[in-house]
Structure 1
Amino acid sequence: MKNNLEDLHNHLFMQLERLSDESIKGDELKEEISRAKAMSAIASQIVSNGQLAINVKRMARAGYIRDAPKYLEVKE
């Protein structure tokens, strides 16, 4: 996978810059707002999934979990 949290950070700031562009008005602005809401929702899910993976790793280290699903593993 080529995307990481730094990429997410950069995408969110690019979206913020587009929303801050005062030359965007009317329907074009409505489309940007809609796009920003979608990006925000997806970004929140990505961050939540990362937090879940971190929690699984902590629980595994503490001995509460023996085998975590592959998709929740945090690489060392």
Structure 2
Amino acid sequence: MKNNLEDLHNHLFAQLERLSDEDLKGNELTEEIKRANAISSVASQIINNGNLALNVGKLKYNDQIQKTPKYLEVKSV
């Protein structure tokens, strides 16, 4: 997977644009709202996971912890 936070940012703004479409009415609007809620929920979890990894990286950098699970390691770019 090659998505990053910039991609997430772009997806969220694209969703906002779809929700702002004044021609969307009835079932189409209802479906777009459901999609927006799902995207928002997933986005929140991605952000929470990123914050967790960042906090673990800070703790490791400050020698407050020695070992971290591989999935929480922050990779340098």
TM-score over 0.5 for the pair: yes
Matched, 1:23 2:23: yes
The runs of at least 4 consecutive aligned structure 1 residues that moved more than 6 Å come to: none
TM-score, with structure 1 as normaliser:
0.96
Distance 2:57 2:6 in 1: 21
- The amino acid that maps onto 1:55 is N
Instruction: Give the % identical residues.
Output: 66
Distance 1:44 1:69 in 2: 21
Contiguous gaps of at least 5 residues in structure 2: none
Q: Give the count of matched residue pairs.
A: 76
Partner SS, residue 22 of structure 1: coil
Matched, 1:69 2:60: no
TM-score, with structure 2 as normaliser:
0.95
CA RMSD of aligned residues (A): 0.6
1:48 aligns to what? Answer: 48
